A and B are shown apart, each in its own frame.
Chain A
Amino acid sequence: MSHPLSFMLCLAGFTALAFAMDRQQHDLIGRSLPASVTRALRIAGACALLLALGVLVAWQGWGLGLVMFSGHTSLTAGIVHVTLIGSARVYARASKH
């Protein structure tokens, strides 16, 4: 269960971090979020990533845990990015019509 759990945590973490970025806020919501919300998102995202690391290290120790964590973070960051590109495309197409 540790693999799916840390995968989901990383996915949530990067999603939060993406929403904490100014450019993405403009692309997705059309305006900047208040600084307090941005900060909260950033903290939540970082915590989710750390929690994922904790889950993997508790399960497999530091050696294997770090390797798995690196894999999960790379993959989930890619997935979040592709999703952002996809939603921006859909949004752009919808706003054209």
Chain B
Amino acid sequence: MKTVQEPRPAGQGIRQSMSDLHTWVGLLLGWVLYAMFLTGTVAYFKDELSQWMRPELAHQTELPDQAVVAQRIADELGTVAPGSPQWSMRLPDGRNNSVYAFWRTATGTPGQRGFGEANFDPATGQKVTARDTLGGDFFYRFHFQFHYMPVIWGRWIAGVAAMFMLVAIVSGVITHKKIFVDFFTFRWGKGQRSWLDAHNAVSVFGLPFHFMITYTGLVTLMALYMPWGEQAAFKTPAERQQLNAELSAFIQPGKPSGQAAPLASVEAMVRQAQERWGRDNVGRVTATHPGDAAARVAVARGEAGRVSMSPQYLEFEGTTGRLLAVHEGVGAAAETRGVLYALHLGRFSDSVTRWLYFLVSLAGTAMVGTGLVMWIVKRRQKLPDPERPHVGFHIVERLNIVTIAGLSVAMTGFLWANRLLPQDLVARANWEIHVFFIVWLLTLAHAVLRPAKKAWVEQLWAATALLALLPILNAVTTQRPLWHSLVEGDWVFAGTDLMCWVLAGLHAALAIRTARHRPKLRSTRKPSREPVTTSATLRKGEA
């Protein structure tokens, strides 16, 4: 029908081919993209989610002095990881109530580098005794490297999917053509037409974001996807080290002197950083060869309010605390990468901007979701026999259910596991993740066994129930129920609980609409078919 309106055959050709490209590029990795989009969206609140998932760690009413905390944890790391060639800690800030630190282990078989990591209580300096969990970082990591596979494979899959997304966005814009004319257009109750309008709305309103997030997503891992330029340009270890210094504030450990010498006051070093960047704006403290005469300490600036991930840090001589260098700028190419990287992560955001990121990213999730559903809606009308669709239709339909409704069930299941698994379970953090995948597999089994529409409705109701009951589970299993959080002004807990109810409402609305939905099967456009048969099939479908 569209083709009739198009006056020039040449234009028609490109638009049609772009439309086909859009359809198939969008479908082929659409399920992967949906999962990446949704977990990535949630990951904008990963620090808050991590706090919620470690309820033993008290609500942070005021920020501790970062300098004091840095000294406390540095002392503790001297005990926990003695002789470590390098440790690094992320100081507590407005979004983190614990200190996350990791270190290279001192001894080990030659050629093998071991790592240790832990969360520390800023007030006591001790390792936190909270339940073992990956917290919101699970969604964050899953978003670009998935699970149960080597990290590199996951990142390659994510990269290919992102490239597909980019192609889908560009071809989608070309296909759409009436972006401005149809800007506020929505035709209600028109089946495929309504789905297309909805798909266009969530895509067009968030278009700057969708394009930015896809492109910058590729940039974050560009060194993996396209290493050749770097390999050609930087050949010696010294050059590589210089490159690293442009990209991150992690100073690389050189050769230790072998002479023991205590580390100077870390507190004094962080104080200098605080004078430069503000009291609560120190991000990370890294030390190489602490306890050796050749020790170095880097104190890096926090991420807040700065649209760049390019490193800014002060470098100190470890034994004397003398300021060796101030790194506050990088070259133009490195800064370009730093800005694009920062745009993707959005860690510079104040809370309003973070919510904007979350909401527009949710629109991106809806863009992929509506696109997937539309593939089905469009083809259902053309099925010769809706009772027995062809294999491709069947597979896409089931995968849509598992990806869209099933993922909500699985992600909420992950949070349930966090509250329900026994505290002393071995490898507890891993079991939370196993539960996520077990639940997701169950939704797959369910979607295969049940009729499509019933599977949709039941899984959406399951997600609704799990989300709606989660704040109650939290109230029963922790000391921090919603009413308590509200009184305390603990917005991390109250916000998470309330958000569960908002999302439960959203899933309930989707469930009700899906349950009421009567697909319009083609009855007019195929005159050979008896109308009686069609309505009989319809009735059977409804029963």
A residues near B, CB below 8 A? 3, 17-18, 21, 23-24, 60, 63-64, 67-68, 70-75, 77-78, 80-81, 84-85, 88-89, 92
Contacts and interface: CB of A to CB of B under 8 A. Distances in A.
A74 B188 contact: no
B489 to A, nearest CB: 20
Contact of B184 (A60, A63, A74, A84): A84
A68 B348 CA distance: 11
Contacts of B188: 85, 88-89, 92
Contacts of A92: 188
Is chain B's binding surface mostly helix, strand, loop or mixed?
A: helix
29 contacts: A3-B352, A17-B183, A18-B184, A21-B183, A23-B184, A60-B305, A63-B308, A64-B305, A64-B307, A64-B353, A67-B307, A67-B343, A67-B346, A68-B352, A71-B353, A71-B357, A71-B359, A74-B205, A74-B206, A74-B208, A74-B359, A75-B359, A75-B360, A77-B205, A78-B201, A81-B184, A81-B201, A81-B205, A84-B186
A29 to B, nearest CB: 14
Interface in B311-357: 339, 343, 346, 348-349, 352-353, 356-357
B348 A71 contact: no
A10 to B, nearest CB: 11
A63 B185 contact: no
Contact of A78 (B339, B353, B363): B363
Given A81-B184, A81-B186, A74 B363 contact: yes
Contacts of A24: 184
Given A78-B363, A81-B184, A81-B201, A70 B307 contact: no
Contact of A72 (B184, B308, B343, B356): B356
Nearest to B350: A3
Contacts of B201: 78, 81
Contacts of B353: 64, 67-68, 71
Give the residue among B184, B188, B349, B356 with the most A Cβ atoms within 10 A: B184
Contact of A71 (B305, B339, B356): B356
A85 B186 contact: yes
A23 B182 CA distance: 9
Given A63-B307, A67-B343, A70-B209, A80 B184 contact: yes
Contacts of B202: 78
How big is chain B's contact interface, by range?
A: 20 to 34
Contacts of A63: 307-308, 339
Nearest to A2: B352
A81 B188 CA distance: 13
A81 B360 CA distance: 14
A70 B349 CA distance: 13
Contacts of A71: 209, 353, 356-357, 359-360
Contacts of A18: 183-184
Interface string B173-214: 000000000011110100000000000011001101100100
B229 to A, nearest CB: 26
Contacts of A89: 188
B207 to A, nearest CB: 8
A92 B188 CA distance: 11
Nearest to A84: B184
Nearest to B351: A3
B185 A70 contact: no
A81 B197 CA distance: 11
Nearest to A4: B352
Given A3-B352, A85-B188, A92-B188, 15 more contacts: A18-B184, A60-B305, A64-B353, A67-B349, A68-B353, A70-B360, A71-B357, A71-B360, A81-B184, A81-B186, A81-B201, A81-B205, A84-B184, A88-B186, A89-B188
Interface in B57-96: none
Interface in B25-43: none
A59 B185 CA distance: 34
A87 B308 CA distance: 42
Nearest to A56: B353
Which 8 pairs across A and B sit closest by C-beta, in order of nearness? A71-B356, A63-B307, A77-B205, A74-B360, A3-B352, A74-B206, A70-B208, A18-B184
